[in-house]
Amino acid sequence: MIFELIQNRRSIFPAQYNNKPIARETIEKILEAANWAPTHKKTEPWRFKVFMNGKQRELGQFLSDKYQEVDPKPKQVKINKLKENPGRSGAVIAICMQRDPEERLPEWEELAATAMAVQNMWLYCTELGVGCYWSSPGLIKYMGEFLDLEEGEKCLGFFYMGYYDGDIEPPLRTPISEKVQWLE
């Protein structure tokens, strides 16, 4: 069962979403799955900010405006994508990481723990038939202007979510034998 979920997990993009709303209770369960990720020193560094019920459009407007402000030659296609993708989603979750104030472990371990929390969300979304996609645009460095981030908290990207119709092509993988060295 779990191996099949792992094999079927894939990125499903906002353009593929069908506008069916995602219930808050469903999102709460997805976030609960995230909360069970492994965490060294029990820092539980993952933090999430959920945009739904129209708030996604405000995020899209901010991203589009900020892109036009910071890019000397903004492209209309990107302006439109940044503005429209959040609104196409049933929900968007800002993926944030709260650094351990005592810095008892390297930052990369807290980044890895947050990524594992997102993988838990992704696997549970796969089980529920909810499409999702982790986007990490360069604009995340400006999210402190839009979100109330705590001291030591940073935004790592956005987890776009939405129901979709139809089948999704399975990803291709090269054989694991090409990526493993046995040292016996």
Q: What is the pLDDT of residue 167?
A: 85
Check residue 157 and give its pLDDT: 97
What's the pLDDT at 37? 98
Mean pLDDT of the chain, nearest integer: 96
Q: How far apart are CA 10 and CA 7, in angstroms?
A: 8
Written as tens digits, the pLDDT of the chain (184 aa) is 899 889 989 999 999 999 999 999 999 999 999 999 999 999 999 999 999 999 999 999 999 999 999 999 999 999 999 999 999 999 999 999 999 999 999 999 999 999 999 999 999 999 999 999 999 999 999 999 999 999 999 999 999 999 999 888 877 899 999 999 999 9
Q: Tell me which CATH code domain 2-179 carries.
A: 3.40.109.10
Q: Is 127 exposed, middle or buried (0-12, 13-18, 19+ CB in 10 A)?
A: middle
Rounded CA-CA distance 4/1 in Å is: 5
